[in-house]
Amino acid sequence: MVQHLVATRLLQNPLGQPAAPGTRGDIVRVSDGRASVYLLPHEYEAADDRSLRWLLAQKSARAS
């Protein structure tokens, strides 16, 4: 079963608060329900689904 990716744009100040809808935010948290990675907005915008899933798999493997 393929996990859905959830991207949440966050602010640095106040730390971790969701950014207003339509803004880039300062950091983007991407999660598949098992692991999360944090990217800069330009890194997230340049990434595709495959590379995001690879990053999440690497994070999940290191946590095991």
Q: For the whole model, what pTM was predicted?
A: 0.88
**How does the average pLDDT of the chain come out, rounded?**
93
Residues of the chain with pLDDT under 50: none
At residue 1, the pLDDT reads 62
- Whether 34 is covered by a domain: the verdict is yes
Q: Report how many domains make up the chain.
A: 1
- Supply the range of the domain harboring residue 21: 6-63
Query: What pLDDT was estimated at residue 3?
Result: 83
Q: Does residue 1 sit within a domain?
A: no
Task: Note the pLDDT of residue 21.
Answer: 94
Q: How far is CA 64 from CA 25, 34, 41, in A?
A: 30, 11, 28
Return the pLDDT at 63: 77
